[in-house]
Structure 1
Amino acid sequence: MSIFTQTSKDQRLALRVGAFVAMAFVLAGIVVFFIGQKTHLFEKQVSYRAYFASVEGLSSHSPVWLNGLEVGRVEAVGFPSKPGEKRMEVRLRLSTEYAQRVRADSVARLSSLGVLGDKAVDISLGSLDQPEVPEGGEIPSETSGDVSAMMRSASKVLDDAVAVSGELRKAVTVYADPKMAQDVAAGVRSLRLMLEEIEKGNGTLHALIYDEQTGRDVRALVANASQTAMRMDKAVAHVESLLGEVEHGNGTAHALIYGQDGANALKELGSAAGQLAGLLEDAKKNPDGAVHQLVYGSAGGMLADLGSAAADIKQITSMVARGEGSLGGIITDPTVYEDLRQVVGNVKRNRVLRALVRFAIDNNDNVQYVGVPLKQPKDEGSQRAIGGAGPDSPSPGDAPPVPVVAPLPGKAP
């Protein structure tokens, strides 16, 4: 049947059907357009990977955000291809125009879409100085708090609050006892009486709180205690320094404690103590010894001798003080001093006497050999002392010496 052979009624019906079909196609195109725009279906996309410890609430087609702006969808959620990887693998698809903003320092996090627990993947913007993540590469991930975790924490907090309220109710029940109330009232009255006594009485607490002089004394006592503590700290530090010096130094104490010299000294001290004990034992057993008489004998005779010696010394010093005797004259008589000065002056002025004095001083070691006969030495190089003294001095068994007088020098040196 041709459209031209149809009646007007059939033509109107065909037009209506065609218009309806055309409108359906238009609506379908509009829907597909909006859906494709929403899901970036008609855009060129790039895929990435991210790993999370938990993917609860995340599913395929969950949105992917780039700093809060939706730029793609979750392609798949599953187990990782690596056997040792404990995190879940999430494949992401992003629009190519945003791929250049995903850098090596970008971080992927799971964010909540609402209270129902749905999740989305939120990627942070990367820095321009960092390289881009290649297609199929891994975006670093980071764990973030979500609503479900917060709800679990809140549930735990509520459970703890219920337990605390139960314990508080038990405590209130105990204190609600009338006897307990009476005891508390009695305690409060006793405390009030004690405070009144402290305020109006003459006790120590009253003096400490209300007496200014006592307060000053207490402050002075505390200051003295503080100074004493500081001095004790300094003393302890000094002792620690001394101990450190003894431990690490090279002194006698270090040698006695840490070295072999200490053991040797102890051995010698023990030996000396043994010898002293032996001497004391011998002195105790020998009654005729001087030590025995001093320790165990009668002290009367010794004290008498000491008294007599002291009396003699006192008498001698008295005579010297009175100018009696030669020593007293030398000390108390000025003429004796002047005579001695004159004699010494004459000796200095006399050449012969001065030469004799110098000769005696220079040959003091050989004066004892003056008058001993000279003896020929065995060696030609042997030196002779004055008067023949030397290595071959005469022995007691030799012939009696012939006196030899050393010649006096003619002139003073």
Structure 2
Amino acid sequence: MRRKLDVELKAGMFLFFGIVMAMITILMMGGAKTFFEKYYRINMEVADAGGIGKGAAIRSGGLKIGTVEEINFTENYAGVRVKMKINEDYHQRIREDSVVRFQTQGVLGDKYLEITGGSSAKPVIPDGGMINAEMGKDLNSMLAEGGNAVELLKENLANLKVITGAMAQKNQMNNIMRDLEVTTANLKEFSSEMKGAGVGKELAATMKNVKVVSERLKNGEGTIGALFADSSLYEDLKNLIGGANRNNVLKFFVRQAVKSSDEAKEKK
């Protein structure tokens, strides 16, 4: 009976250790070395957590070096304190001049922290120490800035439209002034030609003759002038014509004179 118990006990222990080894093997193959790795902690304080949550990945140089362990408000509630758990193997990389940046990964926009490598001249940040943080621009901020840029672009395009319109008006005014200059030059040339051809002198002589004729008419010189100056001559001529209308003989001669005048015009 005792021998049977010993066999069962040995079988149970063998099975237990077999299960443990299988679990360890699975964890090792899956890349989970949590139980065998050493960690140290560093902290940072920021005004806003920026969408980072507990368990968010911490990367440096493209490698995952830790996770976010805790996120709490600071003592005066003025900001947020983020406690990070970093793999001990990367302790020498994180120096006092290292900086934590908020980053976004993938299409879904998963948040993670990126720690820049420090220079060898600076001391290593000790366990529980503080590291500087640099708030990056998230998608919403970039979209907001993009909207502002679009508005600014619209304003610039509107200003450009005004400038081009003013330039077009200026070009139109230049064309008008050019046409006026051409017209002025043509008028000047025309007046020079008239002056050279003696047209001005002929026009002045004609106006002088008209003035002389008008003066003679006014003074009653000549037949037409006498008619203008003496109204009795006009009445006598009127009576003569009226009598001629009543006299058949005179009427015949008047008709013949008119007919002769028309025939002469037709021959010409």
- Point out the structure with the larger strand share: 2
- Specify the structure having the higher radius of gyration (Cα): 1
